[in-house]
Structure 1
Amino acid sequence: MKSITSRDNPLYKRLKALAGSTAQQRRSGHALLEGLHLADAYLDAAGQPETCVVTEGALQHDEARQIVGRIDPAHVYTLPDALFGQLSSVVHGVGMVLLVEKVAAPLPERITQTCMMLDGIQDAGNVGSILRSAAAAGIQHVFCAPGTVYAWSSKVLRAGMGAHFLLGIHEDVEPAELMSRLAPEVLVTITDSHGAKAIYDADLSGPVAWVMGNEGAGVSPFWRDHATLRVTIPQPGGMESLNVAAAAAVCIFEQCRQQRV
């Protein structure tokens, strides 16, 4: 392992620039994975990171030492705990961050299975939670329309809890382009609180393209015009609406329930 001892270290300066700017992360094609859980999930699913930076304090933890032991020592750097604060966005976390290349998935030519479409969702926590639910339900592809928060930002990664490495995540996908790739049997389905069928009465036994809309504006006009199924989630407690991440989870797992063999 090598050591970083100065703020003037080129690698440290690069990591600090990435940590401070989601736009910089997007331009570089890299992501920062902070914490032991994300590091472990990445190693299990994707292999070796480009760089691992770990604090001297973190190396006192057995779990951190085990994770470091899985990484090529040539790619591991230690640094004092005091320097790590400029790289971290987690309070009271264990000092470890991996620098990795964003996992880029090619856009499928034909979409025949259930998928998710994130239509301008802007809250990082919501996007991460939806990705986590999608991965748990066995969905393979999630498509992010322009205007959706950057899926590989640090906040989305933390909320996703490793889901990124189990999904094909496609960003900046224009709705018309995606629509042209959907097989006829895939039902474009939106949630709608007015005049829609209760989700528990809808037939979700086949493939569904779930479209989840912006937190304030909802689903865009394009998807409203192209929806083949509109469902509502009954709310006997009288609330006007659900958080988009909660609504997505209800929809996904109601489909799972219906498809149980």
Structure 2
Amino acid sequence: MKTISSRDNPTLKKLHGVASSARERRKHGLTLLDGPHLLAAALDAGWPLQAVYLAESAREAAEIADLLARLPAQLEPVRLPDALFAHISPVDAPSGILAAIALPGAAAPSRKPGSLLVLDGVQDPGNLGTLLRTAAAAGLSEVLLGEGCAQAWSPRALRAAMGAHFLLRICERCDLLAALQDYPGKVLATALVHGSRSLYEVPLDGPVAWLFGAEGQGLSPELLRRADATVLIPMAAGVESLNVAAAAAICLFEQRRQTNLG
């Protein structure tokens, strides 16, 4: 097993930048998967790994040993002293194993029939990852991200999504209005505006494009006008709003509940 022991190693300098900077990720076309769960999800999906890095103290851990046994024969892990591993890890408490993968190329909307999650300006990577995880759990296969959204393949979004990236078609920097131009199903937004109906009174038995906006500002006026209807989530008195990821989970799983009942 190859060993790197110097912080001045060019590969380590590059990985440190990739771990902490969206610009560096775009520059090198790389991102990092930190932890056994993400690596296992990538391997389960047949996702190609470019390199694997292992902390010295993690070599004997059973979960990591099982992962190492699953790696392609040509992919030899690189061993690092614990301090150097922590230097390149994107998390505060490193798990002991991480992998570098290529950033996926730009994906255009598929235009296939089916429900969509459409995100407008969701800037928090943790919220974005949770939204992706929720979409996959609810059975969606495609998510559209407009300009202003956080980078979907950042290490923080990857950790929050817990492997959902490998189950979804993720289209970043989309022209959302153009992508929805000929959408064959309903386009729904959550909003406290005149004419909004309770989510639980709206039939959700066909494809729906669900529109969700930035945590503070909500949807852009143009996207809100594109919605065929607006829905609201009934809440207890005195509660103004929900986190965007929580609101999306309620809506997507109400649709799934109605579909299962149907």
TM-score range, shorter chain: over 0.9
The CA distance in 2 between the partners of 1:162 and 1:107, in whole Å, is 21
In the other structure, the counterpart of 1:191 is 190
Preserved CA contact (<8 Å) 1:111 1:181: no
Cα distance change, pair 231–165 in 1 and its aligned pair in 2 (3 A): same
The answer to whether structure 1 residue 88 and structure 2 residue 89 are counterparts is yes
Counterpart AA for 2:189: I
In the other structure, the counterpart of 1:246 is 246
The CA distance in 2 between the partners of 1:139 and 1:108, in whole Å, is 14
Per-residue deviation, 1:237:
4.4
Query: 1:171 aligns to what SS in structure 2?
Result: strand
Q: Which is further off, 200-209 or 60-69?
A: 60-69
Cα distance change, pair 107–181 in 1 and its aligned pair in 2 (3 A): farther
In the other structure, the counterpart of 2:17 is 17
In the other structure, the counterpart of 2:214 is 214
Query: 2:188 aligns to what SS in structure 1?
Result: strand
The CA distance in 1 between the partners of 2:158 and 2:237, in whole Å, is 32
Per-residue deviation, 1:19:
1.4
The CA distance in 1 between the partners of 2:130 and 2:47, in whole Å, is 24
> Structure 2 regions of 5+ residues with no counterpart?
none
> Structure 1 regions of 5+ residues with no counterpart?
none
Preserved CA contact (<8 Å) 1:117 1:144: yes
The answer to whether structure 1 residue 31 and structure 2 residue 31 are counterparts is yes
Query: 1:85 aligns to what SS in structure 2?
Result: helix
Counterpart AA for 2:131: I
In the other structure, the counterpart of 2:114 is 113
Superposed CA offset, 1:200-229 (max 9, x none) = 000111100001111111011111111102
The CA distance in 2 between the partners of 1:182 and 1:111, in whole Å, is 9
Per-residue deviation, 1:91:
2.8
Counterpart AA for 1:29: G
Q: How many residues align?
A: 259
Per-residue deviation, 1:77:
0.6
The answer to whether structure 1 residue 170 and structure 2 residue 171 are counterparts is yes
Counterpart AA for 2:78: Y
Report % sequence identity: 41
The CA distance in 1 between the partners of 2:95 and 2:166, in whole Å, is 21
The CA distance in 2 between the partners of 1:137 and 1:60, in whole Å, is 37
Superposed CA offset, 1:73-127 (max 9, x none) = 5431111101112112323331111000123473245242100011001111111
In the other structure, the counterpart of 1:180 is 181
Query: 1:60 aligns to what SS in structure 2?
Result: coil
The CA distance in 2 between the partners of 1:105 and 1:147, in whole Å, is 16
Q: Which is further off, 240-249 or 77-86?
A: 77-86
The CA distance in 2 between the partners of 1:31 and 1:120, in whole Å, is 21
Q: Which is further off, 242-251 or 53-62?
A: 53-62
In the other structure, the counterpart of 1:55 is 55
The CA distance in 2 between the partners of 1:207 and 1:47, in whole Å, is 29
TM-score for both structures, normalised by structure 2: 0.94
Counterpart AA for 1:118: L
The CA distance in 2 between the partners of 1:178 and 1:27, in whole Å, is 27
Preserved CA contact (<8 Å) 2:3 2:78: yes
Query: What CA RMSD, in Å, does the superposition of the two structures yield over aligned residues?
Result: 1.5
Preserved CA contact (<8 Å) 1:48 1:72: no
Counterpart AA for 2:134: S
The CA distance in 1 between the partners of 2:176 and 2:118, in whole Å, is 9
The CA distance in 2 between the partners of 1:251 and 1:98, in whole Å, is 34
Query: 2:87 aligns to what SS in structure 1?
Result: coil
